Chains A and B, each alone.
Chain A
Amino acid sequence: MSFPGRGLLKGLAVTWRTMTRRSVTAQYPDSPPELPPRTRGVIALIEENCTVCMLCARECPAWCIYIDSHKDVVPATTEGGRDRSRNVLDRFAIDFSICMYCSICVEVCPFDALHWSPEFEYAELDIRDLTHEKDRLREWMWTVPAPPALDPHAQPAKELGAAEKAAARTASPGRTASPGGGAAGRGAAPDAPGGD
């Protein structure tokens, strides 16, 4: 059915219908926003997992990651053994005024030391204050959500199986695999320091 002015009436009807519905506005400072999972808010660092392999700093397209480190000598544990050396992280800083939130560092980290946190309220008044050091990055780690659960009947991650096998091998005399399940938690549980 069409008559002159039908389009005009339709226009009025659309705005009227929208007016009668609840508006979708969320008043942000009063109500926290509902962020989707895996929101790229800020990059958090588990300092204990970092081996100073420099992969993140080298892959970063914006060159916004600063890493300083030195080598510590670990004395030999056995008589006549050889002293070992170990990397110690001195400085890990990300300049969020340069960072373009591409997530390459998080992807590339072999020891899961970098994670996305949904935290986004870290604005500063001076652009130089946007370079955040490792203690602040470590603080953000507490806000990283647990990874979403697997789908029902999905294969468990390969790393889980390997870790369980390794645990069973080392604990073969009598212990049941106690650390096996803990490997799933990618959260902030202070694991054994990275490296081998």
Chain B
Amino acid sequence: MADALTLTDVLAVVVRLLLVMVAFLVLPLLVGQAEHKAMAHMQSRVGPMYAGGFHGWAQLVADGVKFVQKEDVTPAAADRSVFRLAPAIALLPYLVVMIAIPLGPGLVGQDLDLGLFFVVAVMGVGVIGTLMGGWSSANKFSLLGGIRVAAQLMAYELPFVLAAASVAMAAGTLSLTGIVEAWQPWWLLWQAPAAVVFFVAGLAELQRPPFDMPVADAELVFGPYTEYGGLRFALFILAEYAGIVVLGALTTVLFLGGWHGPFADQLGWLWTLLKTFAVSFLVIWVRVAYPRLREDQLQRLAWQGLVPLVLLQLVLTSVVVVMTR
């Protein structure tokens, strides 16, 4: 009897992990395809139209096949093991983060009591992958890109974490499920500055335009990714899109109320997914609409804009929490 129970437990864990894996493989591709098409139409183009027959739906599959066929080149002067490890380091944290993100009531890979802490900590690791790529490539453009990554990480990790802390303080828990359960619609207004800061800082951590100075292709060729090609390059790109999904999901869970919505008991997962996609679309939209910031503007925005703003938000949050409890 005891054996059977553990077997079902193991099965449940396996099924959960498989679902997370499927989500990890499918959602970034959906976001990538949405970016192809939305960006094209925002620029009066049509985007991919041929791959797969109907409006180029299989474009990213075709891209993947192309990347797999390419030669795996490691520069002669590169730090070989670090160079080869970097794409995995960049990609895996997002997979790990997805385990802790709740999709609906009770629908979560693994509910952690320290979920928020875990998620923010692991997401910081993803940037290390880019940093490793920049350092080990033995290329001055890569190195410059890597230094920019480091500067960006330093500047934006702080407001990112403080914005998340504001929500945790409001909800009184670090568990992501607990935060969604404690969420109320009026938090949209109360936590709005934190939401903005969280989103902007997340964009900067993902090195998405307008915060893509590390890969600024006009100045640095492709920054830390300059020497990468084939599958390793594809992994870096996949990491970027997985990052968008994770950022969208985290913004949803922390600030937009996760599964809250009509029929939340049955359709909670749908609400979470919809909100995640809405945030992901915003990420794409912002990329098309705004030009890249300069390096000094980026630093000024972080230290003179976001950090004071989120500190004020923390004060506001703590005052309201103390007064209402």
Instruction: Give the B-binding residues of A (Cβ under 8 A).
Output: 8, 11-12, 14-16, 18-19, 21, 23-25, 27
Check A12–B285 contact: CB distance below 8 A: yes
Q: Which of B34-42, B100-108, B113-121, B123-131 contacts A (4 or more CB under 8 A)?
A: B34-42
Contact for A16 among B43, B49, B285, B290, CB less than 8 A: B285
| CB-based nearest A residue for B43 | A18
In B23-79, the 8 Å CB interface with A consists of 38, 40-46, 49
Check A23–B289 contact: CB distance below 8 A: no
Contacts of B285 in A (CB 8 A): 12, 15-16
Contacts of B45 in A (CB 8 A): 23, 25
A16 to B290, CA, bound (A): 13
Check A18–B49 contact: CB distance below 8 A: no
| CB-based nearest A residue for B37 | A19
A14 to B285, CA, bound (A): 11
Total number of A-B contacts with CB less than 8 angstroms? 33
A27 to B288, CA, bound (A): 23
Contacts of A25 in B (CB 8 A): 44-46
B260-290 interface bits toward A, Cβ cutoff 8 Å, 1 = contact, 0 = none:
0000000000000000000000000110111
Check A11–B44 contact: CB distance below 8 A: no
A191 to B46, CA, bound (A): 48
Check B289–A15 contact: CB distance below 8 A: yes
| CB-based nearest A residue for B288 | A15
Residue contacts A-B, CB under 8 angstroms, 17 given:
A8-B290, A11-B289, A12-B286, A15-B42, A15-B285, A16-B42, A16-B285, A18-B42, A18-B43, A18-B44, A19-B41, A21-B44, A23-B40, A23-B44, A23-B46, A25-B44, A27-B46
State the majority secondary structure of interface residues on B. helix
Check B289–A27 contact: CB distance below 8 A: no
Closest 6 pairs between A and B when the two form their complex, measured CB to CB: A11-B289, A15-B42, A19-B41, A19-B42, A25-B46, A15-B289
Check B289–A19 contact: CB distance below 8 A: no
Cβ distance A6 to chain B, nearest Cβ, rounded Å: 13
| CB-based nearest A residue for B287 | A15
Contact for A19 among B38, B49, B286, B290, CB less than 8 A: B38
Contacts of A8 in B (CB 8 A): 289-290
B284-320 interface bits toward A, Cβ cutoff 8 Å, 1 = contact, 0 = none:
0110111000000000000000000000000000000
Contacts of B44 in A (CB 8 A): 18, 21, 23-25
Cβ distance B47 to chain A, nearest Cβ, rounded Å: 9
Cβ distance A127 to chain B, nearest Cβ, rounded Å: 30
| CB-based nearest B residue for A17 | B42
Cβ distance A22 to chain B, nearest Cβ, rounded Å: 9
Check A23–B49 contact: CB distance below 8 A: no
A16 to B41, CA, bound (A): 9
Contacts of A12 in B (CB 8 A): 285-286, 289
Cβ distance A21 to chain B, nearest Cβ, rounded Å: 7
A14 to B43, CA, bound (A): 10
A25 to B44, CA, bound (A): 7
| CB-based nearest B residue for A27 | B49
Contacts of A16 in B (CB 8 A): 42, 285
| CB-based nearest B residue for A24 | B44
Contacts of B41 in A (CB 8 A): 18-19, 23
Contacts of A15 in B (CB 8 A): 42, 285, 288-289
Cβ distance B45 to chain A, nearest Cβ, rounded Å: 6
Cβ distance B300 to chain A, nearest Cβ, rounded Å: 15
A106 to B46, CA, bound (A): 39
Of the listed residues B46, B285, B289, the one surrounded by the most CB atoms of chain A closer than 10 A to its CB is: B289
A23 to B289, CA, bound (A): 17
A23 to B40, CA, bound (A): 9
